[in-house]
A and B are shown apart, each in its own frame.
Chain A
Amino acid sequence: MIRKFGNPPGEDECERASYSYLMSLVAVIMGLPLPIVNLIATLIFWANNRRATYFVRWHCTQALLSQLLTFFLNSAAFWWTISILTSRETVSNSYFAYLILVIGVNLVEFVATLHAAIQTRKGIHVDWFIIGEITDLFVQPDENRA
């Protein structure tokens, strides 16, 4: 969903908001076997920008929350795989079904992240289903901040 976001963001804001998404995409390549790398990358970027303007803060938070959701899904897949390799656990239809689901969610998240990175670079606000709403709960506009 795309919505207007008050005053148009400046060039620097667009760049930083876009980077918050790109950060998780770059980290995906590095952290494929370890689901926590993407989360750490976006967490660091979010921490560095938590005092930035509303537009930047909002997108850094949305990028972080989206990573949090996939982190839990990916972690479960990672440890399930490890237990298959190291214990008496064997591959099953449920395991493959879960892997396919996780791959699907990651693909959707990857495409959405790429789209968000491009749109925010153009200064267009992209609001994701549910995650955008949760982000609204955490990030207040500048005028509402104490």
Chain B
Amino acid sequence: MKTALKFIVLILALALIWLGLSKFNWVELFRIEKNSRELEESLAKVYLDFFINAEGEIKDEDVCQPVLKLTYEICLANSIDTAGLKIHVLGGQEVNAFALPDRNLVILKGLLKDCKSQEELAGVIAHELAHIEHDHIMKKLIREVGLGTLSTMIGGGGGEVARETAGTLTSSAFDRKMEEEADLAGAEYLLNANIDPSGLADFLYRMDKMAEMPEFFYWVSTHPNSAERAQKILDRVRNEEIGSKKILSESEWNKLKLKAAAR
């Protein structure tokens, strides 16, 4: 009995010490937020340099403006901070879009060329915004590349490591839970922006059918089980009031498609 009492006192003492220690602001003391922000900024620079060198950045207003307009409209409707958001349209022919650290969103020309409607493009953008908002990118990088390798990248020789690890960001999947989270959050963003979320589902269904074709490989490989996920999105929005707002005018969309199709 005496021993049991002593044991309970010991556990209580440990709990009290924990409670007491929790009162200190360790996060600020260890400069966690500042250090992780600096790490993200440095990594984003290394990866962006790598992708821009490899694919080339598109600066054409007719291409960039509609993409920005779609993105900001979704952000505004969902109170997503646009101040730190950076959108890059690159010249790659793969049907792909991906998020990089430090709130960078990369969209490849191949995706713009392939999207059949602005709702599909908005759906992919909303999905990638959800990855950014849910902080999936850094978690994925730390888990798959490791903190040690990431530190090496920002400490010098970044280009080489970026080349080796770029696939982690573009062609290996987020885990199933993160993908589902991004799908459902993306569908929610679209609903709030009065954009029809079935565009994202349509895109996923199409990707599932086209998985064998090399130009479709990238987005499909980063986003597996596309058909199943498309169904989940449709189930999620089934009883919602679905908007049909067109963010881009017909001429803006047509110009975008024309420029994206050009070699």
Contacts and interface: CB of A to CB of B under 8 A. Distances in A.
Given A85-B139, A91-B27, A101-B21, A137 B3 contact: yes
Interface stretch (A13-21, A23-31, A42-50, A92-100): A92-100
A86 interface: yes
Contacts of B6: 129-130, 133
Interface string B167-188: 0000000010100000000000
Interface string A121-139: 0000000011001100100
B18 A98 contact: yes
Nearest to B29: A96
B49 interface: no
Contacts of A85: 139, 142-143
A134 B30 contact: no
Residue from A91, A93, A130, A134 having most chain B Cβ neighbours under 10 A: A93
A97 B18 contact: yes
Given A97-B22, A130-B6, A91 B139 contact: no
Contacts of B23: 93
Interface size class of A (residues with CB under 8 A): 20 to 34
Interface string B12-43: 00100111111111110010100000000000
A100 B21 CA distance: 8
Nearest to B25: A93
Contacts of A101: 14, 17-18, 21
A92 B27 contact: yes
Contacts of A137: 3
B228 interface: no
Interface in A34-72: none
A34 B171 CA distance: 30
A91 B147 CA distance: 15
A3 interface: no
Contact of B10 (A98, A100, A130): A130
B55 interface: no
Given A94-B18, A96-B26, A97-B18, 8 more contacts: A86-B139, A87-B139, A93-B22, A93-B27, A94-B22, A98-B21, A105-B14, A134-B7
